[in-house]
């Protein structure tokens, strides 16, 4: 039976208006209609990825509850594909279902104060121990720019397990219980006034070896799965025409003719065309995912997303003038989602500045596109064969 037929049968047997939302989502996962491309028993049916959009549309048309994807986007877009590809059967069964239903929120512990753009230079250490509590790791270090850490139950974490080898080789990938002793989350207040990001301090945190993803020392390869999926999730997401920030600005343009000038008209047309080209490119990128894992093309999509968001939000301020300088909220709070469309022009302008940093800085992404997409000569890297412990700190 096709996914469309299975969806109809499921909805006939599970009334979305009669069941509690969590019960409905759990049943949908168990029926294989969460990620149809995932294997059976893990929320999927082993079907082509392109069938997912029709399934999602059918559930939306029936008024079924969703899993609040904006709140659990890190789990859906980054943790889940990494667990599926590199996790054991037991790890997949343990983490994927509550991740998809939204019962357990995930965050990402990658960047550090001294290892942002040069992520492989990270200094957080994980030392292996074996004692009465079993085989495990003791982790010490600091992570930064961690979205959703204040809400998260689990984190994907990379740490250095061998400082005596070159920096890319001595990294191991873990899943961290954010409720474990020694985990401290502190808010980082941004220009918007909110503390959407956090810094996370790890002091003597124990991670059982059963919560390691991939082999010891191969964390960089595992992390590439996460990073490639992250960039697709940020820059290559599905959106209708005039979706996102460009839709907000065009709506103002249509409703407020007194604000229009010929120069603003030219600028809006240029950005509208670029936004539409980016949307169609994102559609093509998602189609390419049906035949394999995301590649460096996701970096180009994320790079374009950041530039467009910043230019469009700046145009909105030019269009609104003094009105656009008002900021709706400066109270210190810790939001659970990032909502560009539902906020003011001032918020969008300030928040868009972070788009060229989060998910890989635009400078690093340009290097990736140059080297891996265009085939240009790579940068000279003098630290490539030097042990991490011998690098200048």
Q: Any idea which residues carry the catalytic annotation?
A: 230
What is the C-alpha to C-alpha distance for residues 270 and 264, in angstroms, rounded to an integer? 10
What is the C-alpha to C-alpha distance for residues 333 and 171, in angstroms, rounded to an integer? 34
What is the C-alpha to C-alpha distance for residues 227 and 77, in angstroms, rounded to an integer? 10
Decide: residue 187, CB within 10 A, 0-12 exposed, 13-18 middle, 19+ buried. Answer: middle
> Taking a C-beta distance cutoff of 8 angstroms, is the pair 95, 83 a contact?
yes
CA-CA-CA-CA torsion sign (331, 337, 342, 346): positive
What is the C-alpha to C-alpha distance for residues 389 and 164, in angstroms, rounded to an integer? 6
What is the C-alpha to C-alpha distance for residues 207 and 136, in angstroms, rounded to an integer? 6
Tokens 């599905």, located at residue: 238
Find all residues with CB under 8 Å of 16, minimum gap 6, and list them. Answer: 24, 59, 62, 63, 64, 65
Alpha helices by DSSP H, listed for the chain, are 3-13, 21-30, 52-61, 73-74, 80-86, 89-101, 219-235, 245-255, 262-288, 297-320, 345-352, 362-368
From the list 82, 102, 81, 83, the residue with the least C-alpha distance to 94 is: 83
What is the C-alpha to C-alpha distance for residues 146 and 157, in angstroms, rounded to an integer? 11
Helix (H, G, I), strand (E, B) or coil at 185: strand
Core vs surface per residue 357-367: b (16+ CB within 10 A) or e: ebbbebeebeb
What is the C-alpha to C-alpha distance for residues 101 and 18, in angstroms, rounded to an integer? 18
Count the alpha carbons within 13 Å of 159 in the hemisphere toward its beta carbon. Answer: 26
CA distances from 357 to 105, 138, 294, 348 (A): 23, 30, 20, 15
């Amino acid at each position: 039976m096709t996914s469309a037929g299975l969806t109809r049968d499921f909805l006939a047997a599970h009334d979305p208006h009669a069941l509690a939302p969590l019960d409905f989502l759990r049943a949908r996962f168990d029926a294989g209609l969460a990620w149809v491309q995932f294997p059976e028993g893990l929320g999927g049916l082993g079907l082509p990825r392109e069938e997912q959009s029709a399934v999602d549309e059918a559930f939306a048309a029936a008024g079924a509850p969703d899993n609040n994807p904006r709140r659990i986007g890190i789990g859906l877009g980054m943790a889940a594909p990494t667990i599926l590809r590199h996790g054991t059967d037991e790890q997949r069964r343990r983490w994927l279902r509550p991740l998809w239903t939204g019962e357990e929120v995930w965050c990402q512990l990658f960047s550090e104060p001294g290892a942002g753009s040069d992520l492989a230079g990270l200094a957080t250490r994980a030392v292996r121990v074996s004692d009465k509590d079993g085989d495990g790791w003791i982790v010490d270090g600091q992570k930064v720019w961690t979205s959703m850490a204040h809400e998260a139950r689990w984190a994907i974490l990379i740490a250095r397990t061998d400082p005596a080898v070159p920096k890319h080789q001595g990294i191991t990938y873990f899943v961290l219980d954010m409720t474990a002793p020694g985990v401290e989350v502190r808010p980082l207040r941004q220009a918007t006034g909110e503390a959407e990001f956090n810094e996370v301090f790890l002091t003597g945190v124990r991670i059982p070896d059963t919560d390691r993803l991939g082999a010891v020392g191969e964390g960089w390869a595992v992390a590439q799965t996460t990073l490639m999926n992250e960039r697709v999730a940020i820059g290559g997401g599905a959106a209708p025409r005039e979706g996102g920030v460009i839709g907000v600005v065009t709506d103002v343009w249509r409703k407020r003719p007194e604000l229009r000038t010929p120069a603003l008209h030219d600028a809006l047309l240029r950005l509208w065309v670029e936004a539409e080209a980016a949307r169609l490119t994102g559609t093509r990128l998602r189609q390419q995912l049906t035949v394999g894992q995301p590649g460096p093309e996701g970096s180009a999509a994320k790079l374009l997303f950041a530039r467009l968001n910043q230019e469009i939000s700046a145009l909105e301020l030019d269009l609104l003038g003094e009105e656009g300088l008002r900021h709706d909220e400066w109270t210190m709070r810790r939001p659970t989602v990032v909502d560009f469309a539902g906020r003011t022009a001032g918020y969008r302008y300030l928040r868009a500045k972070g788009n060229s940093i989060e998910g890989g800085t635009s400078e690093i992404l340009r290097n990736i596109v140059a080297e891996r997409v265009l085939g240009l000569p790579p940068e000279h890297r003098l630290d490539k064969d030097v042990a991490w412990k011998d690098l200048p700190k």
